[in-house]
């Protein structure tokens, strides 16, 4: 089982879903073979969204790649190719 983050136009993660492992290939409903790599599944899941403002990137539950496991509100940095946790501001005491 692999995990995929849905990312908006601001590079913010809005959802994380489980999906097919990157090495698996399947036959789509139109007879086309899909999968076989992380990039292929990312492209497949992105196309399924039918929204040009959203895209999909695989995330590692164990943090083995792309920095850390993506969560809702995390930012995807396309230059570093990693997910970044949101900054939590400490409350200021009066």
The pLDDT assigned to 81 comes to 95
Q: Note the pLDDT tens digit of each residue in 47-71.
A: 999 999 999 999 998 878 888 999 9
Q: What's the pTM?
A: 0.84
Q: Note the pLDDT tens digit of each residue in 23-52.
A: 888 887 788 888 888 888 899 899 999 999
CA–CA dist 11, 74 (Å, integer): 8
- Phi, psi (degrees; rounded to nearest 5) at 11: 70, 30
- Phi, psi (degrees; rounded to nearest 5) at 37: -160, 160
CA–CA dist 48, 71 (Å, integer): 21
CA distances, 26 to each of 20, 30, 38, 40 (Å): 9, 11, 13, 11
């Amino acid at each position: 089982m692999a995990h995929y983050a849905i990312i908006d136009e601001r590079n913010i993660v809005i959802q994380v879903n489980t999906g097919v492992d990157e090495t698996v290939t399947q036959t789509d409903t139109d007879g086309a073979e899909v999968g076989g790599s992380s990039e292929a599944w990312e492209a497949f899941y992105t196309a399924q969204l039918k929204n040009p403002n959203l895209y999909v990137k695989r995330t590692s539950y164990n943090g083995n790649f792309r920095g850390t496991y993506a969560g809702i509100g995390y930012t995807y940095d396309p230059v570093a190719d990693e997910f970044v946790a949101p900054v939590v501001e400490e409350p200021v005491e009066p």
